[in-house]
Amino acid sequence: MTERRPLRYAGRIVAALLAGGFVALLVYGVLSKAQDTTIDDSLARSRAVPAPAFELPVLQPGAAGSPAAMRAAPALADGRLALRELRGTPVVLNFWASWCVPCREEAPALERGWREQGRRGVLFLGLNMQDITDDARAFIRDFGLTYPNVRDRGNEVARRYGATGLPETFFISATGNVVAHVIGVVSAQQLRDGVAAAQAGRPLGVKEGGERRSTR
């Protein structure tokens, strides 16, 4: 009997190590996917925060004609867009996907906003994520979207912005700071207020919009 005790103790030690390792991996997984609240926390204190950088492939370059489109054209020409290339232009950054039903509700309002604000030098930029390319392009065609769109195959950029659902819209000043955030479908008034904040570089805060879907 005494000879078996070391084996029993060794078995218990191995089991404890395995359990500890599992817990460590679980905690790491939770932390690694945790929402980044930096932007919302700063806006809640009426402080603008630098917009997280990204560089993504262009899904659609958008229609030419407006001053905002003309400014963005050189940055879109090579098929990739880095946010830093838009410095000097206020940006309305909208996260969306074709499978997101609320995004379909929101799309016409965004297009109307773009047609109005693009003439005033404000760039609307769609960021399609977690989507199938053909489905995303069909969505753009169906709703007649003429503002530029980029594509993130996953949700890396959304995580950096603290976006956990779709749609979500961030308003970025010409100096590259996030000044407002709307969670859910953005209303026409929220769109106007956010654009005004981006043009003035004035923090507006975080606003609750309409319906949204969780990211995948």
Tell whether 78 and 174 lie within a shared domain: yes
Tell whether 186 and 137 lie within a shared domain: yes
Q: Is the pLDDT of residue 131 over 60?
A: yes
Instruction: Give percent above pLDDT 70 in the chain.
Output: 84
- The DSSP-derived string for 1-42 is -GGGHHHHHHHHHHHHHHHHHHHHHHHHHHHHT----HHHHH
pLDDT value at residue 15? 45
Question: What mean pLDDT value characterizes the chain?
Answer: 88
Tell whether 27 and 73 lie within a shared domain: no
Tell whether 174 and 120 lie within a shared domain: yes
Q: Is the pLDDT of residue 4 over 60?
A: no
Tell whether 101 and 14 lie within a shared domain: no
Tell whether 144 and 201 lie within a shared domain: yes
Tell whether 46 and 133 lie within a shared domain: yes
For 33-57, what is each residue's pLDDT tens digit? 457 999 999 999 999 999 999 999 9
Tell whether 27 and 113 lie within a shared domain: no
* Residue with the larger pLDDT of the pair 22 and 79: 79
- The model's confidence at residue 5, banded by pLDDT at 50, 70 and 90, is low
Tell whether 54 and 136 lie within a shared domain: yes
pLDDT value at residue 28? 34
Phi, psi of 171 (to 5 degrees): -110, 120
Instruction: Give percent above pLDDT 90 in the chain.
Output: 81
Tell whether 165 and 115 lie within a shared domain: yes
How many domains does one find in the chain? 2
Domain hosting residue 13, numbered range: 2-32
Residue for token digits 């977690």?
130
For 137-187, what is each residue's pLDDT tens digit? 999 999 999 999 999 999 999 999 999 999 999 999 999 999 999 999 999
- Determine the Cα–Cα distance for residues 144 and 117; give it in Å rounded to an integer: 17
CB atoms within 10 A of CB 35: 12
Tell whether 142 and 94 lie within a shared domain: yes
Q: List all residues 6 or more positions away from 54 whose beta carbon is below 8 Å from its beta carbon.
A: 82, 83, 152, 157, 160
- The model's confidence at residue 12, banded by pLDDT at 50, 70 and 90, is low
Tell whether 10 and 76 lie within a shared domain: no
